Each structure stands twice: as C-alpha cells, then as structure tokens.
Amino acid sequence: MNALALPVVLPLLAAFLVRPASLVSSGLARWLGPLVLLLCGAMLVDIALLADGQPVSANIGDFAPPLGIVFYADSMALLFAIAVPLFALLLWPREGMREGGDRVSALMLLLVGSGTGMALSGDLFNLYVFYELLAVASFGLVAASGSARAYAATVRYLLISGFGSVLALIGVALIYTQTGTLNLAQLSEFAPERLANPLGLAAFACLLIGFGVKAELFPVNAWVPEVYATAPKRVSALLAGVVSKLAILVVLRLILLVFDLPEARQMVLVLGLIGLVSGELAAWRARDLPRMLAFSSIGQLGLLFMAMSIPGELGLIAALAVALHHLLMKPALFLLAERWSGGIENLAGAGRKAPLAAGLFTLFALSLLGVPPLPGFWAKLVLLLGLGQQDAVLAQAAIFGVLLMAVVEAHYLFRLVGLLYAKTEHDATPHRMGDLAVASLLGVVLLASMPLLPALAEGLGWMAHQASDVAAYRAMILDSRIPGVAP
C-alpha cells in the first residue's frame, strides 16, 4: 500500500511551505498546520480500516527491500502513528509564542512527520534519521519559549542528545560490519548467527543508549528536569507523552526483531530499575510541580523499560498497557501544571479555587499510583505478573523495587493532593480553557476505558501477538524481494 508514505511526507511538505504561506496570508499559515495534521490523521485511520487488522507494508520508491527502505504498519505501529498527529493537534502550541509563530508551526509539523516515520519505518538508518529530525524539532520547540533558562536547558539537551546519536551511529556501524544490511527484517534473519555474540550485544547497548536519550533512559536522562520545567508546558506534555513513546517503540522493535537475547533483556531491566528508583526518589524530593512531574516521568518510563524486558507476549502486553496509560496521563498532568507551575507549597488550597482541575489531578495521580479500578492499576498488575513469572533474582528484585517505589509515589502524590485540598487561601491564576478542556478530555478517556477493560485487554493481547510474530514480519517484507511486485 503505497499511500503509507504520505502521512510521513505531507507534514514535511507543509513544514517547508509554512513560511512562504505566511507571506501570502497569515491566516493560511496559521491553519495549514492543523489542517495537514487532520488530513494525516484521517489517512492513517483510513489505512487502519482498510488493512482490517492485517499488517501492511510499503516499499518506498518501489525498490524491494533490503535494497530499498520499507515502511511496515502492523496494528501496534498504526496505533502509535495515529497517536502522533492526534496529540499534536490536541497539544498544538498556543499564541503564547512570540512572533515566530509560523516557525513553531513548521517545527510541530516536522515533529509529527518524523514521529509518524519512526513508528512506521522498517529500516535501521531511516529510524536514525527520523530520530534526529525529531530531536532537532524538539530542540526548537523547547527553545521557542524564549526565556534564557530555556536556552540553557536546550543546550544541555542538545549535548546529551548529540552524544547519544554518536553512540547510535557507532551501533549502526557495528551492525553493518557484521551483517551487511540495515533492513530490520533481514537483520532479524541474520541475527541468530551473526549478532548473538558480544559484538552484537555491544551494538545493542550503543543503540539502546543512543535511542534512549529521548526515552529518558537511565544514564542519559540528565536533561529531563530542566527541559520539562523551562519549556512551555504543552511542549513538555508532547515530549513526555508522545516522543518518549516513539523512542521506546524503536527500542521495542529492536528487541523483538533483532536482539531477542536474554542479556539484552537483562540490560534493559537493570537500566529500567535504576531509572525507576532514581526517578521516584528524586520526585519525592522535588519542590516544584513541573520538575516533580518530570522525575515521575523518568520513573514511569523506567517501569516501561522493565516491562519491555519481559520475554514473550505477556511482556509486550505489559509494555503496551504501561505505555498507553502513560501516554494518556502524562500530557494531562503537564497541562494542569501549566498554571500551577510554582512550588508545591504554593499550591496549598488551590483545589478549592479550581475544583475541576484539582479533581482531574487527583484522578490522574491515583491512576499513576495504581489504585484499582483505574487503568494504572491494571497496567502495573500485568507488569508485576510478568516479572513474577521469571525466576531470575533480578526479576524478584525488580518486583520489590516496583512495590517500594509505589509506596514512595503514594507519599508524594498524596502529600500533593492533600495540599491541594488544604483549608488555606490560595491566589491562583485559573487554568486556560483550552488546557482544561484537553485535560478533561483525557480524563474522560481514562475513565471510559475502565468499563471497556476486557475489550481493551483482548485488543492489546491481539496486538502483542501480531507484533511478536517475527516470522510473519519477515515473510511479509522479504517475500517482496522481487522488484516491481507490491505485496
């Protein structure tokens, strides 16, 4: 299905044309972005409906893989690909930007294009290129707030991300010298013989850390607190919610297809555990809301990495559940933090002035913590079940870590909620209508998913089954090796 390339390419085209469009008419420039995003979202939904649950693929340029690049869309990829323009529309930056409004539009469009590309691509270097595009677009969006501290935070993010991409390039070079190909399907074919050795593991480690910068993985997440605190909160919401999931999707594909080795999974588990512990402890000590949310995000993504380390379909289900829950919850929390971006002490009594916001915040906090029957509980439960099924000491230690950190989370979250409803006077600025609306929408979706849980669980299970069917992936892509024959 050749139209699969369009949702990636059209936002790029629109990004190139935004600035000349603003020369023609400023209204056109303002609406070009959201319209293109709507179009791409509709196209992706259309593809999903046409595909009817079966994976589809597209050979770019009609060059059969492994010579050319292939886009592969199974249900998991389509889910995240649809989430990108959807959340970009919901979190479209407001007029709070300076007169560089059309540049910000262009950067958002580039973010969407590269994000969709990352979700759909089936070629290692193509994933790297889209990852870099995502990085540069996010640098721009963070720096767009114009404050000096945002510039300083962006520089730090840039340096860490740059070093990560150096490591990722080294990983790609290592893989290429061993296997001679960059196509994920062909790599999964060659992996058992050529990559299941220390060299392959080293390549995986390089790629993990390289792509892990955006996924807030343990050694390379020093940029997170300052960036989330100084960027406009919608941008933080986008970064923490959507962008990190895309990076994690890439790592997930690598683990599933190419590096299905126990040592690789152990590496991911250890880094995830350290991230969880360090993130939650730092969140406990944080004294202002945006950074508390940032550290908590590091912790949650550590949980997600731990879920990815569980082998088999259960691991995938756990990872998808935690990822989707975080995707819904974190942007909403950051939106609520837009007006509450002060110190935690200063929030005392804010709940009485803004009941809807405080109610939403409490809802999301409870779900983050994992209080039944909210979805967060089920996600953590599946994770703990998956970890419990393994015999390794590390997995048992991981279970202990998760439960301990849940206690820490409970402490700082309940402290915050208690403060919100304290009996003191508070002089808060009310939330903007748009932010509250989007946060409420996400809250409604979260609540609505509760009665639908059995159906959701079945859907996730089927998605996991499809995604872990590596043989089918290979068959679909590599069987179109004869040029000119579209699958």
Partner 1 sequence: MHKLASLLFAMGLAALLIGLAAQLPLGMTPMGVGQAILERAPGETGSANIVTSVVLAYRGIDTLGELAILFAAATVAGLVLAPSIHAESQAKAKPRDDAGLVLRAGSDLLFPLLLTVGFYIVLHGHLTPGGGFQGGVVLAAAFFVSFLARPAKQPSHVGITLIEALAGASFIGIGLAAFFGGGAFLQPLLDKGTLGQLVSAGSLPLLYLAVGLKVGAELSGLLAHLAE
Partner 2 sequence: MNPPDLITILISGGIGLVAIGAVGMAVSRHLLRLVLALALAEAGANLLLVLAGYRWDAVAPILTGAAMTRPMVDPVPQALVLTAIVIGVGVQALAVALLIRVKEAYGTLDIRELKTRVEQEICGAAGIAPPESANKPGSSQPYPVPVTTSRESA
Which of partner 2, partner 1, none sits in contact with 113, Cβ below 5 to 8 A by type?
Answer: partner 1
Per CB under 8 A, 28 contacts partner 1: no
**Choice from 28, 89, 132, 397 touching partner 1 (CB under 8 A):** 132
Number of shown-chain residues binding partner 1 (CB under 8 A)? 64
Convert residues 291-310 into a mask of x (bound to partner 2 by CB under 8 A) and - (unbound): x-------------------
Question: Among 77, 214, 209, 221, which residue's Cα sits nearest to residue 135?
Answer: 214
**Choice from 27, 61, 192, 355 touching partner 1 (CB under 8 A):** 61
297/225 Cα distance (integer angstroms)? 10
Per CB under 8 A, 169 contacts partner 1: no
Alpha-carbon distance values, 306 to 38, 43, 221, 265, 470 (Å): 34, 34, 16, 9, 21
Which of partner 1, partner 2, none sits in contact with 152, Cβ below 5 to 8 A by type?
Answer: partner 2
For the segment 170-189, give every residue that binds partner 2 (CB under 8 A).
Answer: 170, 172-173, 176-177, 182
Given the complex with partner 1, which of 113 and 315 has the nearer CB atom?
Answer: 113
- Of 88-96, 129-137, 253-261, 440-448, which part binds partner 2 (CB under 8 A)? 129-137
- Phi, then psi, of 147 in degrees rounded to 5: -85, 155
Given the complex with partner 2, which of 172 and 379 has the nearer CB atom?
Answer: 172
**Choice from 140, 232, 376, 386 touching partner 1 (CB under 8 A):** 140
**Choice from 13, 38, 152, 356 touching partner 2 (CB under 8 A):** 152
Convert residues 326-345 into a mask of x (bound to partner 2 by CB under 8 A) and - (unbound): ---------------xxxxx
- Of 127-135, 234-242, 253-261, 359-367, which part binds partner 1 (CB under 8 A)? 127-135
Given the complex with partner 1, which of 142 and 467 has the nearer CB atom?
Answer: 142
55/352 Cα distance (integer angstroms)? 50
Per CB under 8 A, 16 contacts partner 1: yes
For the segment 96-115, give every residue that binds partner 1 (CB under 8 A).
Answer: 98-100, 103-104, 106-107, 110, 113-114
Least CB distance to partner 1 at residue 479 (A): 16
Per CB under 8 A, 24 contacts partner 1: no
**Choice from 266, 346, 362, 440 touching partner 2 (CB under 8 A):** 346
- Of 1-9, 20-28, 164-172, 380-388, which part binds partner 2 (CB under 8 A)? 164-172
